[in-house]
Chains A and B, each alone.
Chain A
Amino acid sequence: MPAQTIIFEPDDKYNAFLKVCNKPSHTNGKLAGITVAVKDNISTSGIETTCASKILKGYVPPYDAHVVGLVKQAGAAIAGKTNMDEFGMGTTTENSAFGPTLNPRDTGRVPGGSSGGSAAAVAAGMVRMALGTDTGGSIRCPAAFCGIVGLKPTYGRVSRYGLIAYANSLEQIGPMGKTVSDVSTLMGVIAGYDRHDSTSQNKPYDHIPRADIKGLKIGIPAEYFGKGVDPQVAAVVKKAIGRLEELGASTVPCSIPSMEYALAAYYVTCTCEASSNLARFDGVRYGPAADTKKSWHDAYQEVRSAAFGTEVRRRIMLGTFALSSGYYGKYYSKAQVARENVRKDFQRIFQEVDVIAGPTMPTIAFRLKEKSDPLSMYLADILTVPANLAGIPAISVPCGKSEGMPVGLQIMGRHFEDERVVDVAYAYEQAVN
C-alpha cells in the first residue's frame, strides 16, 4: 500500500525528544497514522540512535529493531527518538548527555526515568503512544511520575533485538500511552516470537481489555507499604485498591521477604551485564573518532573516559569489579541466588493470588537535581526491580495525586499473564473516569 506522510512539529518544551522526525511516513494498519515515539536506545534504521550518550553521537543504525519494524508495519508513524538516562542508567532522565527532560505536570520536577522522554512526550500530548524500555522500572517509573500508563511485559514476550543492551537479562521493551487501551493496542503490535532474540517466546498478545475483575484475588505485600514509602503515596494507592475491591476483587495480605536483597541483586546484575555490554563502545566504530596517535589501548581509555557520563562510568566500574576474578562468587553468583529467591517468593504468592498491587514508586516525582546522591536514587527503584528480577509483567496506571503530582498504581502478574494486569488496570481506569 502507498505510504503517506504526516507533518509532525511538536512544541517540545520539555526536551522529550532527542530527534524529531518532521515528516514521518506511514502505511495502513492497526496503528495507521498514529504517532509513536521511540526511546533512543531502540535501533531505528536511518535515524540517529544515541542512547543519550556522547559515545554514540552520530551513530545511525543500518537496521530497525524488531519492534520498530512491527510498529511501522502496523502503519504507525515514527515521530522521533526520545530522551533518556544515558544507556538507561537512571531514574530521572537527568543522566542524559543532551540535557534533562522536564516533567510536563511540573517543569520543576523530573519525569522519572529512564524512559522519561517517552513518558513526557505522551503526557504532553505530543504523541499518542511511545516505546520505552524497562530494566528496573524505567517504563513504570516515568509513567507514574508523568501520570500515564506504562507496561513492562513478561520477560521474553517482546523481542529485544535492536534494543541497545544495558542489562539483557532484566530488560524488556514495552508500550506507553495515555490510556490502558492504547498501551494494550501497542502491546498487541510488538509482542510475539522473534527468531533473532533467543530469549523471546512464542506468546503473541491478542487481547482487548476487559473491565470485569469480579472474584479477582489481589495480593498486597507489606513491603510495598512499609519503610521508605511516602505515607501520602501509600494512602492514594490504598484508596485505589479500595476501588478495585468495590469492583468485586478481594485483597490478601502477603509478604516478599526476598525484597530485602532485591535492590542489591538488581544492581549487581545490571552493572555486571552493563560493564560487558558497553565495552564495545571504544571510539573505533561509533562516536567521536579518537584523534590520537596513541596505542589502541590508550586511545580506548581516552575516548571512554571522555564520552561516557559519570553514572555510566560508575556502573561500568562497579560491574567490572563485581565480575573480577575472586569476586564473581561473592557478588554475581550471590545476586543470582537472591534473584532466584525473589522469583520463588512471587511463585509462592501467585499460588494464592491472581495479581499483586502496590505503589509503582515510593514517592512522587523528584524535584530536578533532588537525587544527587546515587545511592538515594538507587533506593527509589525498590518497588519496581522485583518484577524485573522475576521476569513478571507489571503495569503502572495513574491512580490519583499527591501534592498535585500523579501517583502510579502498580499491578504485577504471573508470567505471561500480561493480559490480566492490563485488565486490572483497565478496570480501575474505567471505574474512575
Chain B
Amino acid sequence: MAEEETQVIVGLEVHCQLDTKSKLFCGCSTDYRSDGPNTHVCPICLGLPGAMPALNKRAIEYAMKVAKALNCEIVNESEFSRKNYFYPDLDKAYQITQYDKPLAEGGYLEIESDAGGEKKIRLTRIHVEEDPGRLVHMGNVERGKYSLVDYNRAGVPLIEIVSEPDMRSPKEARKFLNKLRATLEYLSVFDSEKEGSLRVDANISIKGHERVEVKNITSYKGVEKALTFEVTRQKNLIRRGQRIERETRHFLEGRGVTQSARSKEQEHDYRYFPEPDLRPLRVKSWVDGIVLPELPDARRERFMAQYGCSLNHARTLTGDLKLANFFEKVVSSDPKGLSPLASTWIADTLIGELNYRDMGLDPVDPESIAALVRLLKAGTITDKSGVEVLRVMLDQRLKKEKTETPDAIVTRLGLTKTTGDTGAIAAAIEEAINDNPKALEDYRNGEGKAINFLVGQVMKKTRGKADPAELNRMLNEALKKRGA
C-alpha cells in the first residue's frame, strides 16, 4: 500500500480534573483519594432530591485560564446542559455538562511533529462538566456478585478538551497529550499525578475508511498503546479487504488491546436540554483579567537563550513543569558555569536513569545533582564515574536508604579522577600494551582502531577514573616509544 493510502487520522477528547479545592457545584473537598468511600459528599453531589447545583466560580476561572493558554475564543454566552442516562455511578441520572454552548471554541496547541518542526493541532472546543461517581465491582464487572458506588468523585470539575483530527500517528497523539499536560500544569490547574485525573477518548481512522472511537484510556502511555493497536488492527482489516466498522471500542489497559463495545451502549440518546437550575454563563469579560504564567513554549525559548540549552534539551526540560523547575534550581548557584553540563546530565542521563528505575523526580533534590555537576565540571571525576555516582544516589533514594552526598560517594568509592603523571595511568598503559601484543602489532600495521581497544583496557584497569584526554595523550606517547 502506498503511504498516503494508509494515512492515520487521530482526534482526541481529553477529560482532565481541574485541581480546585472544592467540587463544581458544592463545597465538598476534592481531596478524597486517601479517604474512605462516600466521605466527601453532601446533598448536592449525592444528587439528593431537592438539592441544587451552585457553580464554583474558581472552576470556571481555571477552565478559562486553559482556554486562554490554548488560544481559544471564550463565547459570549455559554450554558450548562443535562446529559441524561442511567448508570449507577451517576447520582442524578444526568450529568451536568455543556452541550451546544461550550465555554470556549477554537484554539490550538503546538507540538513537535513526526516530521520534525512545530505543528499546530487545532482544537474544537473546551467545556466544563462534573465527574460522575465511581463503581467498585466486587469480583469483576461481568461476573461479580454486586457493585459498590463511591460518590467521592461525583461533582469534581472536569474540562473536556476536544481536538480536531489533526494528529497523524499514535506518537503525535502522545506528544499532544504530553504538551497538554505540561501546559495545564504550568497553569496550576491540574495535577497529573493524581490517579484518574486524566481520561482520554480517541477517534482514529485510516484515511478513506470509517472512524473508530476508543474509549476508556486512562494513562499517557495508554494512548499511544491503544492507538498503535488500532492502527495495526485497522490496517490489517484493510489489507484483507475487509470493511472497518464505525464503532466504539474500549481499551483494555492491562492487555493492551481494544475491544468492541456492545452495540447497546452506542444507542444512547442523551436527551440534552439546558440545565434549568443554572443560569447562562456570561464570563467573556473575565478573560482580560486572566494573567497567564510563562508557558512551556516560552520557557523553552528562554532556556535556549538564557542557559544555552540545545533545542532538544530545552524541549525535554520544559516539557514537564517539575523538571523545568528542577533544572533551574540545579543551575541557580552558577547558571553560566553549570548549565551546559546540567542540561545534558538532567535531560539525558538523569531522565534515563529515572525511567530505568520507574522512579519519579520527587525524591531527588536539586542540590545533590548540582553537587554532582560541580564535580564533573571541576574535572574531579570522569563522566563514567559521574554515572556511577548518580546510580548510587538514585538507588539509595529508591531503596530509602541513608543518602550520601556525591562527594561522599566519590570518596568512599575512590572515584577521584587519576590525573597527569601519576604512575597509575602509566602503569596501566604499560600493562595493557604488554598484555595485548596483538593490539600493538595491529597498531603498528596501521590499524588505528586498535588504539580504542587499548583505551578500553586502560579504563578497565583504572576503573574509569582516568581522564580520557590525558589517557589518549599518554597512550599515544607510550606507543610512539615502542616505535609504533
A interface residues, Cβ below 8 angstroms from B:
42-43, 49, 51, 56, 59, 61-63, 65, 160-165, 167-169, 195-199, 272-273, 275-276, 279-280, 282, 284-286, 296-297, 300, 320, 323-325, 328, 332
Contacts and interface: CB of A to CB of B under 8 A. Distances in A.
Given A168-B276, A198-B277, A325-B271, A62 B49 contact: no
Given A169-B276, A272-B273, A279 B84 contact: yes
B399 to A, nearest CB: 46
Contacts of A56: 49
20 contacts: A43-B50, A49-B49, A56-B49, A63-B48, A161-B52, A162-B51, A165-B277, A168-B277, A198-B54, A199-B277, A272-B273, A276-B93, A276-B94, A280-B47, A280-B92, A282-B86, A320-B271, A324-B271, A328-B273, A332-B273
A112 B133 CA distance: 41
Contacts of A61: 43, 48-50
B54 A59 contact: no
Q: Contact size class for B?
A: 20 to 34
A332 B92 CA distance: 21
Interface string B53-97: 111000000000000000000000000001010101001111000
A323 B84 contact: yes
Nearest to A297: B86
B135 to A, nearest CB: 10
B92 A279 contact: yes
A325 B84 CA distance: 12
B50 A280 contact: no
B93 A280 contact: yes
A63 to B, nearest CB: 5
A302 B50 CA distance: 24
B5 interface: no
Residue of A51, A198, A320, A324 with most chain B CB atoms under a 10 A cut-off: A198
Contacts of B92: 279-280
Contacts of B269: 324-325
Given A197-B52, A276-B84, 13 more contacts: A51-B49, A56-B49, A61-B49, A62-B43, A162-B51, A198-B52, A198-B278, A273-B273, A279-B86, A286-B49, A323-B84, A324-B271, A325-B271
A278 to B, nearest CB: 9
A160 to B, nearest CB: 7
A332 B86 CA distance: 21
A326 B189 CA distance: 38
Contacts of A280: 47, 49, 91-93
Residue of A42, A51, A168 with most chain B CB atoms under a 10 A cut-off: A168
B81 to A, nearest CB: 10
A126 to B, nearest CB: 25
A325 B272 CA distance: 9
Contacts of A169: 276
Given A56-B49, A280-B91, A280-B93, A196 B54 contact: yes
Contact of B279 (A62, A165, A198, A284): A198
In the A-B complex, list the 3 residue pairs whose CB atoms are closest, starting with the nearest.
A279-B93, A323-B271, A168-B276
Nearest to A336: B274
Contacts, number: 96
Nearest to B145: A293
A59 B55 contact: no
A43 B88 contact: no
Nearest to B275: A168
B52 A196 contact: yes
B332 to A, nearest CB: 46
Contact of B273 (A42, A51, A323): A323
A198 B52 CA distance: 8
A157 to B, nearest CB: 15
A72 B84 CA distance: 36
A282 B50 CA distance: 16
A285 B43 CA distance: 13
A276 B92 CA distance: 8
Nearest to B26: A196
Contacts of B149: 284
B410 to A, nearest CB: 63
Residue of B55, B86, B149, B279 with most chain A CB atoms under a 10 A cut-off: B86
Contacts of B88: 282, 284, 296
Nearest to A272: B273
Nearest to B25: A198
Contact of B50 (A164, A272, A284, A324): A164
B144 to A, nearest CB: 11
Contacts of A168: 276-277
Contacts of A325: 269, 271
Contacts of A323: 84, 271-273
A97 B168 CA distance: 60
B48 A62 contact: yes
A151 B269 CA distance: 39
Nearest to B92: A280
Nearest to B83: A276
Nearest to A320: B271
A49 B92 CA distance: 18
Contacts of B276: 167-169, 199, 273
A276 B271 contact: yes
B464 to A, nearest CB: 64
Nearest to A304: B86
Contacts of A282: 86, 88, 93
A296 B141 CA distance: 12
Interface string B137-179: 0000000000101000000000000000000000000000000
A253 B94 CA distance: 46
B50 A65 contact: yes
A280 to B, nearest CB: 5
A276 B96 CA distance: 11
Contacts of B55: 198
Contacts of A165: 49-50, 277
Contacts of B50: 42-43, 61, 65, 161-165
A198 B277 CA distance: 6
A197 B25 CA distance: 11
Contacts of B272: 323, 328
A161 B43 CA distance: 11
Contact of B94 (A51, A164, A279, A328): A279
A323 B84 CA distance: 10
A167 B276 CA distance: 9
Interface string B265-298: 0000101110011110000000000000000000
A161 B51 contact: yes
Nearest to B47: A280
A62 B38 CA distance: 15
A285 B279 CA distance: 29
Given A198-B278, A296-B88, A63 B43 contact: yes
B54 A195 contact: yes
A212 B88 CA distance: 58
A77 B89 CA distance: 38
B273 A164 contact: no
Nearest to B277: A168
Residue of B147, B272, B277, B279 with most chain A CB atoms under a 10 A cut-off: B277
Nearest to B80: A198
